[in-house]
Amino acid sequence: MNVNLYGCQGKWVMVDCGITFADLNYPGIDVILPDLAFIEERIDDLLGIVLTHGHEDHIGALPYLAEDLGVPLFATPFTAGLIRGKLEEERIADRVKLHVIEPGKGFDLGPFGFQFVPMSHSIPEANALLIDTPVGRVFHTGDWKLDAAPLIGSPATAEQLTAIGDDGVDVLVCDSTNVFNAEASGSEGEVRLGLAQAVAKARGRVVVTTFASNAARVATLGEVAKETGRKLCVTGRSLDRIIRVAKACGYLKHFPETIDADTAMRLPRDKVLIVATGGQGEARAALARIAEGTHPIALDAGDTVIFSSKQIPGNEVAIGRIQNTLAGRGVEMVTERQAHVHVSGHPGRPELAAMYGWIKPDLLLPVHGEMRHMMEHARFGLSQGIPQALVQKDGDVVRLLPGAAEKIGHVQVGRLVLDGDVILPADGTTINERRKVSLHGQISVAVAVGRDGRLKGEPEVRLQGVPVEEDRPPFTAEAVAAAAEAARGGGRDRDKLREGIRLAVRRVATRWTGKKPIVDVLLIEV
Ligand SMILES: [Zn+2]
Ligand SMILES: [Zn+2]
């Protein structure tokens, strides 16, 4: 979830505005957004948002936050196409200004000059940003790698990056994702060979799962289909969207005609190659449904699924579940452990070292990684001769220039969650209540009392998630009796009465289950 704010002469520019995805700590939540309170408080000084590339961790928050921020966006055509699609989905496309800048070109924003510098990554049009200010220059790499055969786009060459470094760069803000990799990331071109071999070996239907946004990989799969004499079937809304935007930007020119799932199922098994989303174990994506047998594409013993992607940390359990289901059907699986079917989009150490050599910064500011990645990246940069390295925590304010960099403050940051259509604090009342209910269960007790505090009729008790299963009727009867007993002794003090009932019912629950559910007492005066 990337958001960077650069300030100069009292003006601010945001670089990227991403989301991250929720885990089980956020029950009922899919999307987590950054809390932008700091810049919202000085919104008049925010000049714009510059987007490095179209991955969700860099642009995903725009549909929810861009309209309120009310500043123009700047992106290259492919990224802009993805953003426009998101804004249209939210019906705010006409209310957010989106400037399209050609790759390699620049623009000015107050005291800042920006130049998009094309880089290789795992999506078309990843850009580094060369940021010029009156006090010095910053090279913000965005997500990047080195790739001699990127298949899509023409990344900046070593000569061009050296020229940028020779002009003088003070600060390198650099991707830390793969700092623990001793090897370079490898080329998209090599993957074509590995995938072609894996598909050629397969006898039955072949499903390849990859990130939809990796248009170069999608192009590769088009070539592999042609080479292996298979028709290409593409399933998943996000793949359709990427292919549409990529074609509109002049990419995927040689992409083969695709067939739909029904046609694919009528072809001989060894004549079809299916590209599907869901390689990270996403429950609603095509691969999960194929595994469960609820998708128009059906797989059987002897068919093959190729995982042309890495397992993103945290997704192992979900991916494993799908792989077990597929294995149970006799489907064969190929991952990057068995064949060269994936390369990373982030730089390993040899690539990082090359970048330091070209850019020659005075200061390295590691970004894009967990704390352990950024700390290691700082150590690695220093070991390679960069004079200074500085690691920020979320919310740290660092003065980069002029002079030696230093931490000068810390401001409010945090996480918001998108819950239905509502944006909430990630650890606020709503989510905390939901966690408690999901952990402990809940009991509602309705009690009618007269004006004198006397119990009227019989209390009502309802349970949610309390582990009594088929003992629910006797348990409820006992809870009702306990509530009635407590109400009889209650008296006129409403709060005391409510608390007495709550404790009495909770004691019953604890005796029956060993748990302490949330007990809500509703006192109704009749
Ligand atoms: Zn990325
Ligand atoms: Zn990223």
| Angle of CA points 211, 365, 180, to nearest 5° | 55
Give residues with Cβ within 8 angstroms of 286, minimum separation 6: 209, 235, 236, 276, 277, 278, 295, 297
Give the Cα separation of 85 and 96 in Å (integer).
12
Tell me whether strands 363-367 and 171-175 are parallel, antiparallel or unpaired.
Answer: parallel
Residue 492 has pLDDT above 80, yes or no: no
First to last CA, the chain: 53
Query: How far does residue 124's CA lie from ligand 1's centre (Å)?
Result: 10
Phi, psi of 128, deg, nearest 5: -85, 160
Within 22-71, strands assigned E span: 31-34, 46-50
Q: How far is the CA of 55 from the centre of ligand 2 (A)?
A: 6
Torsion 88-93-94-99 (CA) sign: negative
| Confidence at 489, pLDDT banded by 50, 70, 90 | confident
H helices, E strands: number in the chain = 16, 27
Distance from the CA of 111 to the center of ligand 1, in angstroms?
A: 27
Q: How far apart are the CA of 54 and the centre of ligand 2, in A? A: 9
Cα(252) to centroid(ligand 2), Å = 23
Closest alpha carbon to 155 in 171, 166, 144: 144
Residues around ligand 1, an ion, CB closer than 5 A:
55, 143
Distance of CA 312 from the midpoint of ligand 1 (Å): 13
**Listed residues: CB within 5 A of ion ligand 2:** 55, 57, 143
- Ligand with minimal distance to 368 CA: 2
Give the distance from CA 252 to its chain's centroid. Answer: 25
The average pLDDT across 515-521 equals 97
pLDDT for the residue 22:
87
In sequence order, what are the beta bridge partners of 272?
231
| Rounded average pLDDT over 85-96 | 96
Distance of CA 337 to the CA centre of its chain: 24
> How many whole angstroms from 59 Cα to the centroid of ligand 2?
10
* DSSP three-state, residue 342: coil
User: Which pLDDT tens digit goes with each residue over 255-313?
Assistant: 999 999 999 999 999 999 999 999 999 988 999 999 999 999 999 999 999 999 988 88
Predicted confidence at residue 184, as pLDDT, reads 96
Closest to 348 measured CA to CA, from 123, 174, 104: 174
Of the listed ligands, the closest to the CA of 126 is: 1
| Cβ-based neighbour number of residue 513 at 10 Å | 15
Mapping DSSP to helix (H, G, I), strand (E, B) and coil, where does residue 365 land? strand
Ligand at minimal distance from the CA of 1 is 2
Residue whose C-alpha is closest to residue 357's, from 148, 133, 146: 146
Residue 269 CA, ligand 1 centroid: distance in Å: 35
DSSP notation for 287-318:
HHHHHHT-SSS---TT-EEEE-SPPPTT-HHH
- For residues 522 and 460, what is the distance between their CA atoms, to the nearest angstrom? 10
54 C-alpha vs ligand 1 centroid, how far in Å?
7
Instruction: Compute the average pLDDT of residues 432-453.
Output: 93
Distance 347 CA to ligand 1 centre (A): 12
Ligand 1: centre distance to CA 374 (Å): 17
Question: What is the Å distance from ligand 2's center to 341 Cα?
Answer: 21
- pLDDT reported for residue 490: 66
95 by Cβ neighbours in 10 Å (0-12 / 13-18 / 19+) ranks as: exposed
Ligand nearest to the CA of 123: 1
- The ligand placed nearest to the CA atom of residue 121 is 1
- pLDDT 10s digits, 213-246: 999 999 999 999 999 999 999 998 899 999 999 9
pLDDT tens per residue across span 379-420? 999 999 999 999 999 999 999 999 889 999 999 899 999 999
Q: What are the pLDDT digits (tens) for 127-175?
A: 999 999 999 999 999 999 999 988 888 999 999 999 999 999 999 999 9
Q: How far apart are CA 334 and CA 331, in angstroms?
A: 10
Distances, alpha carbon 308 to alpha carbons 11, 207, 218, 239, 356, in Å: 43, 10, 10, 14, 30
| Alpha carbons 134 and 375: distance in angstroms, whole number | 30
**341 C-alpha to center of ligand 1: Å?**
19
The ligand that comes nearest to the alpha carbon of residue 344 is 1
State the ligand closest to the CA atom of 18.
2
What six digits make up the tokens of 524? Answer: 């109704």
pLDDT grade for 24, boundaries at 50, 70 and 90: confident
Partners of residue 411 on adjacent β-strands: none
Ligand 2 centroid – CA 424 distance (Å): 24
User: Ligand 2 centre and the CA of 78: distance in Å?
Assistant: 16
Residue 442: Cβ-neighbour burial (10 angstroms; 0-12, 13-18, 19+)? middle
Q: Which residues pair with 109 in a beta bridge?
A: 112
CA dihedral 494, 495, 497, 502 (to 10 degrees): 140
Q: What is the average pLDDT score of the chain?
A: 95
pLDDT for residue 237: 87
Looking at the chain, the whole-number percentage of residues with pLDDT higher than 90 is: 90
The CA-atom distances, in angstroms, between 294 and each of 205, 290, 297 are 17, 6, 8
Question: Around 22, how many Cα atoms within 13 Å sit in the side-chain half-sphere?
Answer: 19
Structure token pair of residue 471 = 């003992």
Q: What is the pLDDT of residue 252?
A: 93
